[in-house]
Amino acid sequence: MTHAENTADATETAGWTEIAEPGPGEVRRVGQWAVGSSRGAPFAVSRRCRHQLRDLSDGHVDAEGCLVCPWHGARYDVGNGEMVEGPKGVAFYVGPTPGYTQLVRAVARWVPLRIGRAVRRGHSLFVR
Ligand code: FES
């Protein structure tokens, strides 16, 4: 999916942006936010992975409700923005990186993702 395809068709009303609710596991880009649903609850978090800044709106939500980075697979708790599993890889290498994975996760504790607001109304989400 390209960036353009991933950009939500959005309508802005009084500071809130309305989008069609993403499907299961899908994440959409809404301005500064990566938006989706985790265990049935909508979320909005800042888009830049704390590892190497990949756009998290290109990622997905896994079966446990975590937001997964599309590059090296770092996983985030969208309730508090914390990285719960570090990256598996660095730069253009994707694979096991023992030690490094834990180090990145430890450092990322100091800079969790920012939390936005996402509210469901019918089949739409309102985000700000
Ligand atoms: S850029 Fe997100 S895990 Fe590496």
Counted domains in the chain? 1
- Say if residues 12 and 75 touch (Cβ distance below 8 Å): no
50 CB near ligand 1 (under 6 Å): no
The CATH code of the domain that includes 8 is: 2.102.10.10
> Of all atoms in ligand 1, which is nearest to the CA of residue 52?
1
Answer yes or no: pTM beyond 0.85: yes
Residue whose CA is closest, atom 4 of ligand 1? 72
Is residue 106 over pLDDT 90? yes
Domain range spanning residue 92? 3-127
Residue 66 CB-density burial (10 A; 0-12 exposed, 13-18 middle, 19+ buried) = buried
Name residue, tokens 């990322």: 108
pLDDT digits (tens, 9 = 90+) for 33-63: 999 999 999 999 999 999 999 999 999 999 9
Residue 71 CB-density burial (10 A; 0-12 exposed, 13-18 middle, 19+ buried) = buried
